[in-house]
Structure 1
């Protein structure tokens, strides 16, 4: 198993570039991977929420994960999005990611069917036991409605193969409680850019980030400074992006993000329905923020 310290730092939840006809833009995808190596990202998440995974076919997910592993060639670890609200489907996606060469999987709390804490424990235990791909749990109750408790997370931390959690609640008291009680080596990664600096300063291991797609170097430097106690420098980096963290969710993710990255020349601004292009009002707001960031 790859050491857990390889999954720390600033980790972009990578967008999936698309062509006008809706097909995947693999040339832009390769270029993004190279850019994140150059900018210091700690790893990449492929086929997560920001990558529009709900609209990707199983074949497309496998293609993106496999291409990322092949193109990176070990330069960055690849974490594959594998979550589903069906345990059987989550296991199938985990096997697919393992066969494609991923180094870990990001598995979201089952959404829509609202399982109990016992159901969540049984779900993730089954996923971890079904293959050898390390599991990073993903708690984002704002999307899933279901919310895994810290006690359940810590019980799962004892299951072989479950190596950490992406906590997107943004609740610092909850995050610190988890950090203070976790077993050695269990990762606690922020899933909320607005509070990522705070969680890292409390002892967290970094962030799986939306913002890092567009500003990977600043996010990398902020997390590195935080993890090494360089507080003033970390604060300065965070201050540059703080308004943007929130603005990236002014409309459903990744519509604002893809609009920004298209302005940067990183990709063409195409999404799949039911997501639609950013409204003119939100474009004006983001334009002002980008001018502030420089």
Structure 2
């Protein structure tokens, strides 16, 4: 499996009763495809995976697979704090038609690096799907080091890593492991352009929920090596990155989606965007509409 370009970590739309809004979900999927998104993630951390019941996980994934119909890869978050549960969830995703599993380092339990190697090898061996490793220590309390990734990258079912640490040195160490069978993807929107210009093959993005065309353009420019154009376009998106960091993800992005008519609520313990940020959200929504409209113009060759 070759993963590259703009991949959106989709939010899960809930209605006012905090139930899945399947119509809004399909509208979100349609907007992503129409805007050129090159892959989607269902039930990741942005999708409030920890708040989903098994039947809801199945509904979201099944409907995404049916809607996308093979146009782009469908990844799904299957990572749990326990290896056997992760294998079970990954097999479940395979049976529902997912193309790959995005497997976060086990939250809360803080395994050793050797434990991470054993964990991912077991899932790759028995989970029935290609795996994308996912390192986001700020959420999990576990940092998967580049030397650990090096031990895993040769496994035929381990096809990529989503790296959310922003330090250039971390990205460079991972890029030395990249080859035809193993891709490095940024998991940090504010530094994704820099990562792609350094050689990363794409980004798994939160911001592309609301800026899908803009992120496709960013990826096209950066992956074509057009450094000045990519850097200038990335600068246009800095205000969005800053707004999306005012509260824990996915609170700000779901506020923007709600202003677009895609979902309303989050599930506790997450709460909707505080009132002090509502004016900024309205202004950002207007700005986003302008940026997306500008992307209707093709990128000049």
Tell whether the structures are fold-level matches, with TM greater than 0.5: yes
| In 1: Cα distance, 2:254 partner to 2:177 partner | 38
Is residue 277 of structure 2 the alignment partner of residue 282 of structure 1?
yes
- TM-score normalised by structure 1 residue count: 0.95
Is residue 264 of structure 2 the alignment partner of residue 269 of structure 1?
yes
| In 2: Cα distance, 1:128 partner to 1:231 partner | 36
CA contact (8 A) 2:108 2:141 kept: yes
Q: What is the CA-CA distance between 1:144 and the residue it aligns to?
A: 0.5
Q: How does 1:11-22 map to 2 (within 5 A)?
A: 11-22=7-18
| In 1: Cα distance, 2:80 partner to 2:231 partner | 36
CA contact (8 A) 1:255 1:278 kept: yes
Q: What is the CA-CA distance between 1:176 and the residue it aligns to?
A: 1.1
Gaps spanning 5+ residues in structure 2: where? Answer: 291-301
Is residue 95 of structure 2 the alignment partner of residue 99 of structure 1?
yes
Q: What is the CA-CA distance between 1:291 and the residue it aligns to?
A: 4.6
Moved over 6 A (4+): none
Q: How does 1:171-210 map to 2 (within 5 A)?
A: 171-210=167-206
Which of 229, 233, 236 is 1:233 aligned to? 229
Q: What is the CA-CA distance between 1:216 and the residue it aligns to?
A: 0.3
Q: How does 1:80-91 map to 2 (within 5 A)?
A: 80-91=76-87
| In 1: Cα distance, 2:152 partner to 2:192 partner | 23
| In 1: Cα distance, 2:118 partner to 2:55 partner | 27
Gaps spanning 5+ residues in structure 1: where? Answer: none
The residue number in structure 2 matching 1:77 is: 73
Is residue 31 of structure 2 the alignment partner of residue 24 of structure 1?
no
The residue number in structure 1 matching 2:52 is: 56
Task: Name the SS for the 1:272 alignment partner.
Answer: coil
CA contact (8 A) 1:98 1:133 kept: yes
| In 2: Cα distance, 1:263 partner to 1:225 partner | 29
Is residue 41 of structure 2 the alignment partner of residue 45 of structure 1?
yes
- TM-score normalised by structure 2 residue count: 0.93
CA contact (8 A) 2:90 2:128 kept: no
Tell me how many residue pairs correspond in the alignment: 289
Is residue 159 of structure 2 the alignment partner of residue 163 of structure 1?
yes
Deviates more, 1:182-191 or 1:104-113: 182-191
CA contact (8 A) 1:10 1:207 kept: yes
The residue number in structure 2 matching 1:244 is: 240
CA contact (8 A) 2:259 2:285 kept: no
The residue number in structure 2 matching 1:126 is: 122
Q: What is the CA-CA distance between 1:292 and the residue it aligns to?
A: 4.8
Q: What is the CA-CA distance between 1:86 and the residue it aligns to?
A: 0.7
Task: Name the SS for the 2:160 alignment partner.
Answer: strand
- 1:102-131 per-position Cα deviation (integer Å, ceiling 9, x unaligned): 000100001111000000000011110113
Is residue 63 of structure 2 the alignment partner of residue 67 of structure 1?
yes
| In 1: Cα distance, 2:251 partner to 2:170 partner | 29
CA RMSD of aligned residues (A): 1.3
